[in-house]
Amino acid sequence: MAETKLTNQGLWLLRYEPYASAKIDWHLARSGRPKLLNEREVKDAEHALRIASGNAAFNGSPLPAEVPSVQLAMPDTGNPPDYFGIAGWKFCSRRFREALDQPEHVVQFAPVDFIGGGARARAQEYRRLRVLACQPAMDMQHSDYVPTDGCDPVTGKPRPEALYVRRYALLENLQPKTGIFRIDLTPGDVMVTDAVAEQVLRAGCTGVEFLDPTVRTSSDMRRVRTATGVAELWI
């Protein structure tokens, strides 16, 4: 593989592989089975806690026990992925959690009530992935995104935020404090270090992609981390 000069400072965007999640949607749609049985109940409980805590985002705090577990359905057949997303929530297998190998103050793996799926899906022992760690990473002056008016999740004061980030310019001399973290000033993008990406890929986890954040999403080329290095994929 030809050596590729990178500008991403050894950081990768964590993404679920779109076809893996699409397969789950397709199979459940055919069976008429909902993917999440209590989505509204869980969201209402989280919203009530945000109000009570004064934390508008509630992203950096572990979910307390009074928030009900997500009731997750999966297809009865097929090869269930180690990582996928539904309704903006991220789910991961035991293998993914072990490969990620992060402390409790960095990532929370919230319980899931598994209400449908075959033996293979049940063997994955899925949990809901919530990344608690957060830090600034984005150079907003040089990134390509849609600006929006947001608010500080703790103080509630207005602040600029970024939607639909097409290309990240990273802060100069960015030093990750944790192996995985949410990006400050974006709704939900997550970055991991090169070491963490390699761990997950070498463990053979499926359904996951690690994208170079500095490559424009509208480009015909995607740069991804592989188990053995870096690859450029053209479409």
pLDDT 10s digits, 86-100: 878 899 999 999 999
Q: How many angstroms separate the CA atoms of 160 and 183, rounded?
A: 14
Amino acid at 202: R
pLDDT of residue 2: 43
The pTM is what? 0.89
Q: How many angstroms separate the CA atoms of 186 and 136, rounded?
A: 10
Question: Residue 104: is its pLDDT beyond 70?
Answer: yes
Q: Say which range, 59-68, 94-103, 138-147, has the weakest mean pLDDT.
A: 59-68
pLDDT 10s digits, 167-186: 999 999 899 999 999 999 88
Question: Residue 223: is its pLDDT beyond 90?
Answer: yes
Q: How many angstroms separate the CA atoms of 91 and 80, rounded?
A: 11
Question: Residue 50: is its pLDDT beyond 80?
Answer: no
- Of these ranges, 15-24, 37-46, 137-146, 180-189, the one predicted with the greatest mean pLDDT is 137-146
Average pLDDT estimate for 32-56: 81
Indicate the pLDDT class of residue 235, thresholds 50, 70 and 90.
confident
Question: Residue 6: is its pLDDT beyond 80?
Answer: no
Average pLDDT estimate for 202-222: 93
Give the side-chain half-sphere CA count within 13 A for 159: 13
Work out whether the CA dihedral 119, 86, 126, 178 comes out positive or negative: positive
223 neighbors 212 (Cβ within 8 angstroms): yes
Q: Say which range, 30-34, 107-111, 224-228, has the weakest mean pLDDT.
A: 30-34
Residue 166 is inside which H or E element, if any? strand 158-167
pLDDT of residue 1: 37
CA 78 to centroid of chain Cα atoms: 23
Question: Residue 29: is its pLDDT beyond 50?
Answer: yes
- Residue 72 sits at φ, ψ, to 5 deg, of -105, 130
